[in-house]
Structure 1
Amino acid sequence: MKTSHSLKLPIFTLFLSLIISSTTYSQSGWNPELESDCKEAITEMKKDAPKLDTYFTKAYGYAIFPKITKAGLGIGGAGGKGLVYQGSSVTGESKLGQASFGLQAGGQQFSELIFFEDKAAYDRFTGGKFKFGAQASAVAISEGGAAVAPYQDGVAIFTHVKGGLMYEASIGGQKFTFDPVK
């Protein structure tokens, strides 16, 4: 079946609109709902992968994105908002944007947890221009899974699927912003 280019653009625009609307909050300033969502996502991830406690104990800091919405049909995108911690203190908010190209169809929501091994990795992230290329690898957390990941360039990445279905064989990357707590 041949797919018309005129059909792909409206579908992609709809997916992109859903992603943007799911990551936009009407409140200005601090978002207590986001903090609650982050704590809930961490609890769920720890329940399915208790070995994460070691990362929380040893890492310099971490970023948690409780709900990332991803959609694609040939061209895809994802977005989400999260919090950045140094130790147990919130230091700022971060937005994640992702673009991908390749064989993909569907939609999915997931959580992403990024641990910073040391101050240098944390500082790179909070510098506001942090990116993961297509070669970055994440460990998917599943119920009862081992969830052990080596640090690569000072970061260890874990994902936890919340729902949806995504067929994918694509390449892409993630870009992050950082806004310090005022």
Structure 2
Amino acid sequence: MSNSRLSRRAFALGALASAGGVAACGNGVGSRGSAMIDARVNATLEEMYRQFPNTRQLAERSSGMLVMPLVTEAGLGLGGAYGRGAFRIDNVTVDYYSVTKATGGLQIGAQQYAHVLFFMTQDAVSNFRRAPGWAAGANVEYVISDKGESVNADTTTALSPVLAVVFGRAGLRLGATLEGSKYSRIIP
């Protein structure tokens, strides 16, 4: 009888330890991950508005924004990128996302950059939020030129459902492309 109690007790303790381990593995229970992401998102938006003032106009007209404050991209032959950010509607965080990207070809080095996707229509917001994993493609229009000039929210950019601003820690990221980036909802 004592073996049976010991087995049940060991099983119960093991189950509790496993549950505690799972809770500590980033599912958001007791985590400060969302507060850290939101703080980085706020700082990124302030930096973008300061460097590229015309983006404030885009933010006001957008139906939603995905802000990725820090994406790290590295490669030695094969490469990849990863970052975490928040999706905001009316300047309120409604979801958290990660971005991943795999690249191939001749590449050596690493860089860090931020980017903001402006969803200009409610359909674009709905399609993004319903997708289990949304991939950026050729349908994303960039609103900052390679010369660092910010494009006004005129009819050219207003007709695109998704607009992007990509900038590095030291300013504009030249030749930036988000093509092939995949965005997935996360629980920080």
Shared fold per TM-score greater than 0.5 = yes
Q: Mark the runs of 5 or more structure 2 residues left unpaired by the alignment.
A: 1-24
Following TM superposition, by how much is the alpha carbon of 1:27 offset from its aligned partner in structure 2, in angstroms?
Answer: 7.6
Contact 1:101/1:172, CA 8 A, preserved across alignment: no
* CA-CA distance at 1:167 after TM superposition: 10
Confirm whether residue 56 of structure 1 aligns to residue 36 of structure 2: no
Letter in 2 for 1:129: G
Q: How does 1:1-150 map to 2 (within 5 A)?
A: 28=28, 31-127=34-130, 128-133=132-137, 136=140, 138-140=142-144, 145-148=149-152, 150=157
Structure 1: 5+ residue stretches without partners: 1-24
Give the share of equivalent positions with the same residue, in percent: 22
**Aligned-partner SS, 1:33:** helix
Q: Is residue 154 from structure 1 mapped to residue 161 from structure 2 by the alignment?
A: yes
CA positional deviation for 1:53: 0.9
Indicate conservation of the 8 Å contact 1:48/1:142, yes or no.
no
> Does the C-alpha gap of structure 1 residues 106 and 81 become closer, same or farther in structure 2, counting only changes over 3 Å?
same
Equivalent pairs, count = 155
For 2:178 and 2:164, the matched residues in 1 are separated by 17
* Structure 2 CA distance for partners of 1:151 and 1:110, relative to 1, 3 Å: farther
Contact 1:141–1:159 under 8 Å retained in 2: no
SS at match of 2:50: helix
TM-score (norm 1): 0.71
Partner of residue 12, structure 2: none
Bigger share in strand: 1
Larger CA Rg, structure 1 vs 2: 2
- Residues of 2 paired with 1:105 and 1:173: CA distance? 19
* CA displacement, residues 71-101 of structure 1 (integer Å, 9 cap, x when unaligned): 0122110010000011222110011011111
Over 4 Å off, 4+ runs: 134-137, 139-144
**Cα distance, 1:160–1:59 mapped onto 2, change above 3 Å:** same
C-alpha distance in 1 between matches for 2:77 and 2:26: 31
